[in-house]
Amino acid sequence: MKTIVIGVIGADVHAVGNKIIEYTLINAGYNVVNIGVLSSQEDFINAAIETDANLILVSSLYGHGEIDCRGMREKCIESGIENILLYVGGNIVVGKQDFSHVKKIFLDMGFNRVFPPGTPIDNAMADIQEDLGE
């Protein structure tokens, strides 16, 4: 069974979407490790190491995603999980910015996939299954 670490990064307390993601991924047959809201980069990485996770799925809904996610890939490399998949999704920047521009920022940061605001988790499922080889 593949393991996915999920949580909401930074000073962000949006708990509802987090629960929906957990529910959906469990139903799809994944081992889900939900570290919840107000989580730091280190919380995600530590949980991924202990659980031997294949994917870290970062949610951010309050617009500060860019600041909160900066340097996360570098920390994964330092922590010995350089090959882990990193996804990010939600309202990751403030306001209605051009998404192709936003996407590029996060891809440059080392995220493997970046999802625009309002993407239901079901729509992301195809990508997850493809990346995890199922």
Partner 1 sequence: MGNYLLIDFGSTFTKLCAINTEAEDLLGTASDFTTVDSDISIGYHKALNKLFKEIGNTIEFDQVIACSSAAGGLKMAAIGLVEELTVEAAKRVCLGAGAKVDLILSHHINKSEVKKIIEKKIDIILLAGGADGGNTECVLFNAEILGKMGIKIPIIFAGNKSVQDEIQDVFTKYEMDGYICDNVMPKINVLYIDSARDKIRDIFLKKIIEAKGIKRIENEIDQVILPTPNAVLEAAKLLSEGYLNESGYGDLVVVDIGGATTDMYSICNSTRRSDVLIHGLEEPFAKRTVEGDLGMRYSAPGIIKSLTKQEVEYINMEKEVDIEKEVNLRFNNVKSLPQNVHDEFIDQFLAEMCAYRAMHRHCGRIEEVFTPMGVVYNQIGKDLTEIKYIIGTGGVVINSKKQTKILARTTNILHNKAELRPSRPNLMVDQSYIMASMGLLSQKEPLIALKILKKYIKKIR
Q: Cite the active site residues.
A: 12, 14
* Residues 6 or more apart whose Cβ sits within 8 Å of residue 83: none
| Sequence-distant (≥ 6) Cβ neighbours of residue 109 within 8 angstroms | 69, 70, 71, 72, 73
85 binds partner 1 (CB under 8 A): no
Q: Are the beta carbons of 75 and 35 closer than 8 angstroms?
A: no
Q: Which stretch binds partner 1 (CB under 8 A): 12-20, 69-77, 102-110, 117-125?
A: 12-20
**Contacting range for partner 1; rule: CB under 8 A; set: 37-45, 67-75, 99-107, 110-118:** 37-45
Q: Could you say whether residue 24 binds partner 1 (CB under 8 A)?
A: no
Report the run of H or E that residue 4 belongs to, with start and end.
strand 3-8
The DSSP 8-state label assigned to residue 79 in this structure reads T
Residues 6+ apart with CB under 8 A from 47: 5, 7, 33, 35, 53
Among residues 24, 51, 112, 129, which is the contact residue for partner 1, using CB under 8 A? 51
Query: Minimum Å distance from CB 123 to partner 1?
Result: 25
Minimum gap (Å) between residue 108 Cβ and partner 1: 26
Using CB under 8 A, pick the residue from 26, 29, 50, 117 that binds partner 1. 50
Residues that bind partner 1 (CB under 8 A): 1, 3, 11-14, 31, 33, 35-38, 42-43, 46-47, 49-53, 62-63
